[in-house]
Structure 1
Amino acid sequence: MLDLEPTAADRLRDRKPIPTPVPAYLPTAQSPLTVDTALYSSIQQAPRVLVEEFTLPIRSGRAWKADAGSIVRISTPEGPQVGDLNIWNAHNPRERFWASRTRQLHATHVSTYDRLWSCLPYMRPLVTIISDSLAWYGEDEHGGRVHDLLGTRCDPYINTVLSGGEYDFHCHSNLTRAVLPFGLAESDVHDVINIFQVTGLDAKGRYFMNPCPAKSGDQIEFLAEQDVLMGLSTCPGGDLSLWGFGADSEKEMIKCCRPLKVEVFRLADGDLLERAGWRPAEASKYRGKHGMVVVEGEPGRKE
């Protein structure tokens, strides 16, 4: 008889049960992944002074700076609206938000006491979420969650690939215009956190988006763990209750677009953080040798 290769059905039937996997990165005592919830709750509730505020119109972008220890609130003043957020070190744009590592360290969707981490070689928190009025959302019937790290910003390049048309007010373009006054360029725009956006993966692992659940006045707040530059786009998809590519879709989606509000605060008690033992985040202490030894001259030669 022929020795036939097992079919996919055979392999599936013979597959042994796999124990429930343990998360790869678990917060432990004294770990940078472990936030002192009592401290950060007290910071969130402490009296504060408004430093800056503005309302970002639909389909636009703006960037602003926030000092270490300040609080940044982004809210939905008129109802549901998705925002695409970029973050950099205010003094060094090479240090910027790293969405995929943050996703590994915390989750695909983040909320209160999760941190948004910077890229190599710095590898430190840029901000920590200290308040999230949509934390109640949890997981919906489709497996969707809010504040998305699975996807990235919409951009005009993929729009042209998929629709053949051109549109200049995707989130990538809005962020590109937003950072120009700070000396940054399109190449500095990077993967985002999609705040107020509900996303997930279906049974086949395909990315989906559900409508934004925010109501008027919903908000998310961040504590700046270092001096940061933040850039925000009011997504041209609005609350994502309508979605598509091309001119016709863009005309329809404007019906569900609303502004976002940004407020930057400093703590009224300027010494509160220092007394509590809080310090700006420090960069990774790895020396960056990567196993290499660089010599000044010819090895073994003596003068």
Structure 2
Amino acid sequence: MAAHKDSSHPPQPAYQATPGSILHPDREFYDSVAKAARTPVESFTLPIRSGRAWTVDEGQIIRISTPEGPQVGDLNVWNSSNPRERFWAARTRQLHASHLSTYDRLWSCLPYLRPMVTIVADSLADYGVDKWGGRCHDLLGTRCDPYVNSMLSGDSYDYHCHSNLTRAVLPYGLTEFDVHDVINLFQVTGLDKDGKYFMEACPAKVDDSITFFAEQPLLMALSTCPGGDLSTWGWGEGGGGEEGEKKSMLECCRPLKVEVFKIDDGAVLAGWKRPQPPAYRGKHGMVVPSGEVG
């Protein structure tokens, strides 16, 4: 067995881009988007332990905020014209990082592989890395769901994020099979010394927010996590906290607010174009005959 090479230099990120690559967004442009005058298109407040889906036109702005204080939200994204194109958490994690902030993007699945949204503002961008190694806006984990809940606790509960998202997309012709790995907004997570996934209490305060620019026409769905701000956590219906703890998970739950805006100044988007999929010719090396060979 070959010995591991001993090096004094840390390994380099596996996915690096040359200058001018799509992985290096035009910060000046996205700063102008973030500062542009805007007109409200839609606004709603999502109650605790619920889900809702909505559509967004390309070139619009989506702001998700915590109007009453800390609350985690699980977000799914699809192309509204072709929901087979949907957010790919694993590749986004590789292309950017395990936790996202301003100028990072949510990328779509194969064979599309292009930005769906770009983050243009994040009031928690300065959270950084805490003493436990936790970071905010999590891509390490995924949505809570009733199946793992039943497996771990024996209880059935219908308002986990997977269920909330499932109910949210049904009016748009999608099903449970279309719900996919999420970005956990306002959620602080990390890996401990043994590589075990951990969650911390949400650091958001009243009206903290994260803002996205829609790079294509979108269907988005958001769940207000039944764990609330995750300051108390446990599996099982109505569960949460250690024995003797007075605070329940329900008491940790708060709403989330969603706002969609149209940019007023058309000049801001004058040079912007919808990102295109990579120019791979397809077929994966296969030759498909046009008919029976005589």
Q: TM-score range by the shorter chain?
A: over 0.9
Q: In the alignment, which residue of structure 2 is the partner of 1:8?
A: none
Q: 1:282 aligns with which of 266, 276, 294?
A: 276
1:268: how far off?
A: 0.7
How many corresponding residue pairs?
A: 287
Q: Does 1:266 align with 2:266?
A: no
Measured against aligned partners, the alpha-carbon deviations of 1:6-58 in whole angstroms (never above 9, x if no partner) come to xxxxx8xx973452111111233220100110111011101000000000000
Distance 1:181 1:69 in 2: 24
Q: In the alignment, which residue of structure 2 is the partner of 1:291?
A: 285
Q: 1:254 aligns with which of 230, 247, 250?
A: 250
Q: 1:43 aligns with which of 33, 52, 75?
A: 33
Q: In the alignment, which residue of structure 1 is the partner of 2:101?
A: 111
Q: Which amino acid aligns with 1:199?
A: T
Distance 2:284 2:103 in 1: 32
Q: How does 1:219-230 map to 2 (within 5 A)?
A: 219-230=209-220
1:272: how far off?
A: 2.5
Distance 1:118 1:296 in 2: 31
Q: Does 1:195 align with 2:185?
A: yes
Larger radius of gyration: 1
Unaligned runs of 5+ in 2: 241-246
1:298: how far off?
A: 4.4
Measured against aligned partners, the alpha-carbon deviations of 1:180-232 in whole angstroms (never above 9, x if no partner) come to 11111110000000000000000000000000000001000000000010000
Q: In the alignment, which residue of structure 2 is the partner of 1:155?
A: 145
Q: In the alignment, which residue of structure 1 is the partner of 2:244?
A: none
1:279: how far off?
A: 0.6
Q: 1:241 aligns with which of 218, 231, 236?
A: 231
Q: How does 1:1-303 map to 2 (within 5 A)?
A: 16-17=6-7, 19-249=9-239, 252-274=248-270, 277-299=271-293, 301=294
Please tell me the root mean square deviation across aligned C-alpha atoms, in Å.
Answer: 1.6
Q: Which amino acid aligns with 2:95?
A: L
Distance 1:88 1:18 in 2: 43
* CA contact 2:32–2:268 (8 Å) conserved in 1: no
Distance 2:113 2:291 in 1: 33
Q: Which amino acid aligns with 2:284?
A: H
Measured against aligned partners, the alpha-carbon deviations of 1:228-261 in whole angstroms (never above 9, x if no partner) come to 1000000000000000101241592001000000
What is the TM-score normalised by the length of structure 1? 0.92
Distance 2:5 2:25 in 1: 39
1:280: how far off?
A: 1.0
SS of the residue corresponding to residue 162 of structure 2 reads helix
Residue 33 and residue 199 in structure 1: after superposition, are their counterparts in 2 closer, same or farther (change >3 A)?
same
Residue identity (%): 66
Runs of 4+ that moved beyond 6 A: none
Residue 23 and residue 298 in structure 1: after superposition, are their counterparts in 2 closer, same or farther (change >3 A)?
same
What is the TM-score normalised by the length of structure 2? 0.94
Distance 2:70 2:265 in 1: 33
